[in-house]
């Protein structure tokens, strides 16, 4: 029998024990709880009973503590766990999940482990993230860097929950702030950059989304059979499947706001009488996914600014219509949305652009 033998207790997801080391009473991790024990605790709030295998781990823990006390040194603490070991355990658990983006998360974690896998968690500091980013110059967008940082932070949060560590060493490292597609607006520089540098197949669908204000996904669905020419000669697109179809609302995309736009639509209908009228350089239909990838490449190449996406084209169209004095209901009907959504999501806070447009309107009235 040991004198003053520490007891074992349950805390959140694992068993711990209080021991006195170097004159201080410390809570030490003993062994992780089973899935059944965690489920029981979550459902009832009652402390689960330790099983025989965990009891054996506790006996090993007591022997280890006895040796630590004898030398007054902490042989191992949770913070001395190597990041590579935590990453391996986390990824082994993650493989069992159904997250569609786990492959990307895994690549970020393995990338970080290549640099800091042999470093103890307690020695990993916030500035190490900058070193990591500099070693990956391909992560040019703030969104990519934030996704990478979030993936690594996820390892530490999981390790805390599992009882391997107590503190997230990157807890004070904040993500970068950047404009979303509903905060940014397409400038003349963005427009010229795309028209000048992008292949004509992308320019076609870019101009269509920009000039009509439709959703990128709507543009990807358009077929020649959906294009209508009114008796007046104006062109429109009638979508049978769209975001508001469930509400019984008819979605009409007006194409007569620009002569070149009408010509583009009719030209592509003639070129592709069946199937989608907007195609990639390889001849395949554009999809929201490959559009997003293409725009991401334009951002990475510095052709367009950070925060610009395909959806930014729609946001710019709606914002310009509102800035020009358009009635919310009319603008909403034109863009296939609701006045409430426009007020909540599409009125931006870009003071410089608002001021420039106001000045332009005032000057045009006084001219």
- pLDDT per residue, tens digit, the chain (367 aa), is 334 456 788 888 888 888 765 556 677 888 888 989 988 888 888 888 889 888 888 888 887 776 655 444 333 444 457 898 888 888 887 655 544 467 788 899 999 999 999 888 888 998 999 999 999 988 877 778 888 898 898 888 888 877 788 788 888 887 776 544 455 788 888 888 899 999 999 999 999 999 998 999 999 999 999 999 888 888 899 987 655 555 556 788 988 777 788 999 999 999 999 999 999 999 999 999 999 999 988 888 888 888 788 988 888 888 888 777 777 788 888 888 888 877 766 554 455 555 565 566 566 655 5
pTM attached to this predicted model: 0.49
Question: Among residues 366, 321, 310, which one has the least CA distance to residue 348?
Answer: 321
What are the structural domains, with CATH classification, of the chain? Answer: 8-76 (no CATH), 80-162 (1.10.150.130), 188-366 (1.10.443.10)
**What SS3 state is found at 3?**
coil
CB neighbours (10 Å) of residue 263? Answer: 12
Q: Judge whether 125 and 169 are in contact, CB under 8 Å.
A: yes
Q: State how beta strands 235-239 and 251-254 pair.
A: antiparallel
Question: Among residues 199, 178, 197, 196, which one has the least CA distance to residue 312?
Answer: 178
């Amino acid at each position: 029998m040991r004198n003053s033998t520490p007891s074992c207790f349950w805390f959140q997801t694992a068993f711990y024990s209080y021991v006195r080391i170097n004159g201080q009473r410390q809570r030490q991790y003993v062994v992780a709880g089973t899935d059944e024990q965690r489920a029981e605790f979550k459902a009832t709030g009652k402390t689960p009973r330790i099983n025989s295998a965990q009891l054996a781990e506790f006996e090993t823990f007591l022997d280890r503590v006895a040796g630590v006390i004898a030398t007054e040194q902490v042989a191992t603490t949770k913070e001395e766990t190597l990041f590579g070991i935590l990453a391996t355990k986390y990824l082994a658990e993650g493989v069992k999940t159904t997250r569609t983006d786990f492959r990307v998360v895994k690549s970020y974690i393995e990338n970080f482990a290549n640099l800091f896998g042999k470093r103890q968690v307690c020695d990993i500091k916030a500035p190490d993230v900058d070193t990591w980013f500099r070693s990956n110059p391909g992560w040019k967008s703030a969104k990519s860097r934030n996704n990478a940082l979030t993936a690594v932070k996820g390892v530490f949060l999981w390790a805390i929950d599992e009882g391997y560590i107590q503190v997230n060493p990157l807890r004070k490292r904040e993500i970068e702030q950047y404009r979303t597609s509903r905060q940014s607006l397409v400038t003349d520089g963005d427009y010229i950059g795309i028209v000048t540098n992008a292949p004509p197949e992308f320019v076609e669908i870019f101009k269509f989304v920009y000039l009509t204000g439709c959703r990128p996904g709507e543009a990807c669905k358009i077929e020649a059979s959906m294009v209508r020419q009114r008796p007046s000669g104006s062109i429109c697109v009638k979508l049978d499947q769209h975001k508001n179809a469930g509400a019984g609302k008819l979605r009409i995309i007006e194409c007569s706001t620009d002569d070149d736009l009408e010509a583009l639509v009719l030209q592509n209908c003639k070129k592709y009488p069946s199937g989608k009228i907007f195609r990639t350089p390889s001849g395949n239909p554009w999809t929201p996914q490959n559009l997003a990838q293409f725009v991401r490449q334009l951002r990475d190449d510095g052709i367009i600014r950070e925060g610009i996406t395909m959806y930014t084209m729609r946001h710019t169209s709606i914002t310009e219509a509102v800035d020009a004095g358009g009635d919310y209901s009319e603008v909403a009907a034109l863009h296939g949305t609701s006045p409430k959504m426009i007020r909540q999501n599409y009125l931006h806070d870009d003071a410089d652009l608002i001021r420039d447009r106001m000045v332009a309107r005032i000057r045009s009235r006084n001219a």
